[in-house]
Structure 1
Amino acid sequence: MPGVAPEAGSPAIAAPSVGAAAASARPAGWDSAIEQFARDYLKDRRTERRWRVFFRLSWLILFVIFTWALASARNHATLPSGPHTALIEVRGEIAADSEASAENLVSALKNAFEESEAKAVVLRINSPGGSPVQAGIVNDEIRRLKALHKKKVYAVVEEVCASGAYYIAVAADEIYTDKASIVGSVGVLMDGFGFTGTMQKLGVERRLMTAGENKGIGDPFSPMTDKQRAYTQAMLDQIHKQFIRVVKEGRGKRLKETPDTFSGLYWNGEEAVKLGLADKFGNLDYVAREVVKAEDVVDYTPKENVAERLAKRFGASIGAGAVRALQNIGGIH
């Protein structure tokens, strides 16, 4: 009744809680079912994670095995079986990241010189040149290996042997060429573009901040001062002198020097022989047969096949997957 309180000492009547009411409304075994579901879910997640890690590590292992097999196949693709002429190709631009890099060529040179059945080494050249640093490394290594192993080295020019390629060729004992080949170009260049006038016409302001007055030298959007131009030219002249010295040392008295010899000009093979830039006419087969007296030719040039290119292309993604797999070990993410 309204306004009537329970008598003293009589038990209080408590209203049932919402949680208790909800619990009483659940079907029997509901809590255990939820708990079992959670355990099963976590188990499935752990199993899924383990399989994901397993497959990623498997791909990584397969990639390593695949790469190792390719490297082994490349190193043993042309096993010498008797006296032969060792061939090394110098093709394309001479640069650190090209097939004609110093790393590749020096590795091939060492293998060729160390093989007892290789009677001589032939550099077959078809290159317009490239980095003087890379060419200089190869030139130095050829001269070192010749002195160490007492083997002859011959350069055979195909289409072009110019600039940095000729820098390499002069380390050979003799240079053979075709009458129409291009030989020479003993010079150094540094090229680029300047957009300062165009920027002024367009009303574009170049905001270049440096610490050091010459830090921005060569920037195409900034004018080059007379001092910077003179410094750059002096550096090129010094490299040119290094190139000239290497040519003179390599060719010796055979070189018939003229005012144009070191001007950066190039000549066909016929003129190159007359000027002493090359020695004789001949191709690879002629040199192997008539000069080296070992007609069998074994190619020591490192070759990158299609599989290796694919391995390099997908190697980064597979490696990233392996790193993620290793990071996942030890916890669910």
Structure 2
Amino acid sequence: MELTRLRVVVLILLALSATSFLLHYHTRPVIAVIRVEGSIEDFYAYPDLAKQAMRDDKIKAVVLVVDSYGGTVDACFQAEQSFRELNARKPVVVSMGQYATSGAYLISSASSYIYAYEYTTTGGLGVIAVWVSYENYLAKEGIKYYVWKSGEMKDIGAPWRGPTEEENRKLQELVDDYMEKLLRIKTTTEDATIVPSSKIWTS
């Protein structure tokens, strides 16, 4: 009987010890790693990850591993804003890989610290819009097209024609507006500024 009781006590102690270890293990501080790689085009992906890191109390800091040429204007702006909000609550550190240019360079500016390799290519901040027209090719091949639209600019960017003077003006205004937004962004450190140049550098 005494031997049985001893075994029960030992098993209970082992169970309590295991539970204590698991609780301790799961409550240890965590540093999250978020990879910003390839073309940045998903409007929601990085903001969602930033929100998850913000809500998780176990996560005490975040490392952004950045290796990207950039991406679409809207997606990069959204990611930059989300990581900046995260950095206001938890330290965000950037580790640049081979490339961190354009929108990826912008996103990196939302951190408290940036680390890069000697030959990391970075910079290249700017805005570009491209319109490819097959108008002459279609005419040469005798291909006709018909368009019904509710407004003059409803088919803006369409490959079957080039831009009108008004569309040229509007698109340039849009590019300039995005660039002005870039210039208004403040870095998270007082001794750093975002360089508004399309030039690229090694770090």
- Counterpart pick for 2:201 among 243, 263, 267: 267
Deviations 1:289-333 (A, max 9, x none): xxxxxxxxxxxxxxxxxxxxxxxxxxxxxxxxxxxxxxxxxxxxx
Match of 1:122 among 42, 60, 63: 63
1:162 correspondence with 2:108: no
Alignment of 1:136-285 (within 5 A): 136-147=77-88, 149=89, 151-246=90-185, 248-250=186-188, 252-255=190-193, 261-269=195-203
> Of 32, 35, 49, which residue of structure 2 is paired with 1:86?
32
Among 105, 108, 112, the alignment partner of 2:49 is: 108
Structure 1: gaps spanning 5 or more residues: 1-78, 97-101, 270-333
SS in 2 for 1:121: strand
Unaligned residue ranges in structure 2 (runs of 5+): 1-24
* Alignment RMSD: 2.3
After the TM superposition, which segments of 4 or more aligned residues of structure 1 sit over 4 Å from their partners?
A: none
**What is the deviation of 1:186?**
0.7
CA shift in 2, pair 1:103/1:209, >3 Å: closer
Question: CA distance change for structure 1 residues 208 and 87 in 2, over 3 Å: closer, same or farther?
Answer: same
Structure 2 length normalisation: TM-score?
Answer: 0.77
Distance 1:188 1:80, change over 3 A: farther
Residues 217 and 84 (structure 1 numbering): CA distance in 2 closer, same or farther, change over 3 Å? closer
How far does the alpha carbon of each residue in 1:244-271 deviate from its partner, in whole angstroms, 9 at most, with x for none? Answer: 222x44465423x7xxx423121111xx
- Residues 196 and 120 of structure 1, relative CA distance in 2, 3 Å threshold: same
Q: Deviations over 1:205-234 (max 9, x none)?
A: 332232322222221112311111111111
Q: Does the C-alpha gap of structure 1 residues 219 and 252 become closer, same or farther in structure 2, counting only changes over 3 Å?
A: farther
Identity %: 26
Task: Point out the structure with the larger strand share.
Answer: 2
- Do the aligned partners of residues 217 and 109 (structure 1) sit closer, same or farther apart at CA in structure 2, a change above 3 Å counting? closer
Aligned equivalent of 2:75: 134
- Separation in 2 of the partners of 1:173 and 1:236? 28
**Contact 2:87/2:110 (CA < 8 Å) preserved in 1?**
no
Shift of 1:176: 1.0
Q: Which amino acid aligns with 1:185?
A: G
Q: Is the Cα contact below 8 Å between 1:186 and 1:265 reproduced in 2? A: yes
